[in-house]
Structures are given as structure tokens and as C-alpha cells.
């Protein structure tokens, strides 16, 4: 069987969730510079992620969860996932507590990072998801793995996937992603056509 593994931010959602959170809580400057440094490759992803969780972890978890439930999605991509929910999973670095309602709405299995929640805040980060581990897991189970992503943190997963699709639906895919991709799509139509072809 074919397993489709989707990145969440920018691939299923049509807006990045991080700026949405920072706008809502007016943390723009702090988060913007962190995002910029990460995108430019000046801060390694894991370090950037830990810093981000440290900043956002102080904010009320339930409010972020409610906010992210309202993030704009790519409707055709979501349709494909609902029609093929057994074949589709999400792999995201986001913490489970921040995206639980959003994931429920999308309606497929999701692998995520985890933390300990206390008093409606993230007290401690306990697991940072490595997307490549999810690819290996399904490959070892004998599945053909298709990975759809756009960011630096998708690169390793895409390198080892059987088929890697670079998504340019929200922004231009990271250079590292392009270097390991088999396909590049700039529209939902093109992506869904390709996904149905690979099904």
C-alpha cells in the first residue's frame, strides 16, 4: 500500500501557524527574527524549535489550540486526505496540545512532538518529532512512502522517502527540499492529480 505522509504547516494549512500565533499574542518581533534566522539556515532547526517552544510554551495552551483550529487550509488537499484517510498521515514538529483540534478536523493520524502540560502551559518538551523516523517506520512495514513537504525540517524525511513531492502551495520550498525532491507542485490541483496517480 502507498502511505502519504504530509507536512502540516504550509502543506495542509495555507497559512503558517507560527505567525498566526505570534500575531494573536503580539509576539511578532521575537518570533519573526527567529523564523527568519531559521529559514536562512543560521539557527539549526532543533535549536530554533526549542527556543520557539520556550517562548510559546508560556502562552495558554487551550487558546493556541482553539486558534489553530481556525487556520486556513488547502481544501483540495484536505479532501484528498479525508477520501484516503487510511493511507494518509501527518508528520509535524508541532506539539500535540497546540494542534489537537486542527488535526481532528483534518481527520487522519498525526505524528507530533510532545510536552508536559501544567497549568495550561508547556512545562517541558519531552519529544521532538523526527519526520524521517516516521518514513522509516512505514518503509520497514513494507509500505511505499510518499512524502509531501516544503521546509528544511522535511528534507531528511524526503531524502529517504520512496517519492518526495516539494510543495510550493504556500511559499517556495526550501532549497534543501528541492535538492531531494522528485516532483515540485505549485497548485492544489497539480498536487492532488499527482497524489491520485501515486495512489
Binding site for Mg ion (CB under 5 A): 7, 9-10, 150-151
Least distance in Å: CB of 151 to Mg ion?
A: 4
Please, which residue, 150 or 188, has the CB nearer to Mg ion? Answer: 150
Please, which residue, 124 or 175, has the CB nearer to Mg ion? Answer: 175
CA distance 71 to 199: 27
Helix 17-24 crosses helix 96-106 at what angle (to 10 degrees)?
120
From residue 83, alpha-carbon distances to 40, 157, 166 in Å are 36, 24, 22
DSSP state, residue 165 = E
Please, which residue, 45 or 137, has the CB nearer to Mg ion? Answer: 45
Least distance in Å: CB of 86 to Mg ion?
A: 23
**For residue 26, is it left (φ>0), alpha (ψ between -120 and 50) or beta?**
left
Least distance in Å: CB of 121 to Mg ion?
A: 25
Please, which residue, 62 or 102, has the CB nearer to Mg ion? Answer: 102
Least distance in Å: CB of 64 to Mg ion?
A: 18
DSSP assignment of 129-160 equals --HHHHHHHHHHTT-EEEEEE-SGGGHHHHHH
Please, which residue, 96 or 150, has the CB nearer to Mg ion? Answer: 150
Least distance in Å: CB of 110 to Mg ion?
A: 14
CA distance 36 to 8: 19
Amino acid at each position: 500500500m502507498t502511505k502519504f505522509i504530509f507536512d502540516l504547516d504550509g502543506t495542509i494549512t495555507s497559512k503558517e501557524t507560527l505567525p498566526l500565533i505570534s500575531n494573536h499574542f503580539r509576539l511578532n518581533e521575537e518570533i519573526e527574527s527567529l523564523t527568519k534566522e531559521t529559514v536562512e539556515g543560521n539557527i539549526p532547526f532543533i535549536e530554533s524549535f526549542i527556543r520557539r517552544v520556550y517562548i510559546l510554551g508560556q502562552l495558554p495552551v487551550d487558546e493556541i489550540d482553539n486558534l489553530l483550529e481556525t487556520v486556513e487550509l488547502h481544501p483540495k488537499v484536505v479532501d484528498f486526505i479525508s477520501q484516503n484517510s487510511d493511507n494518509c498521515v501527518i508528520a509535524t514538529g508541532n506539539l500535540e496540545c497546540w494542534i489537537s483540534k486542527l488535526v481532528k478536523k483534518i481527520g487522519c493520524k498525526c505524528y507530533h512532538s510532545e510536552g508536559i502540560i501544567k497549568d495550561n502551559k508547556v512545562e517541558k518538551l519531552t519529544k521532538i518529532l523526527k519526520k524521517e523516523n516516521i518514513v522509516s517506520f512505514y518503509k520497514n512495514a513494507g509500505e511505499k512512502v510518499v512524502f509531501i513537504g516544503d521546509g528544511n525540517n522535511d528534507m531528511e524525511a524526503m531524502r529517504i522517502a520512496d517519492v518526495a513531492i516539494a510543495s510550493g502551495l504556500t511559499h517556495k520550498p526550501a532549497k534543501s527540499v528541492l535538492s531531494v525532491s522528485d516532483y515540485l507542485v505549485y497548485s492544489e490541483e497539480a498536487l492532488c492529480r499527482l497524489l491520485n496517480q501515486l495512489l
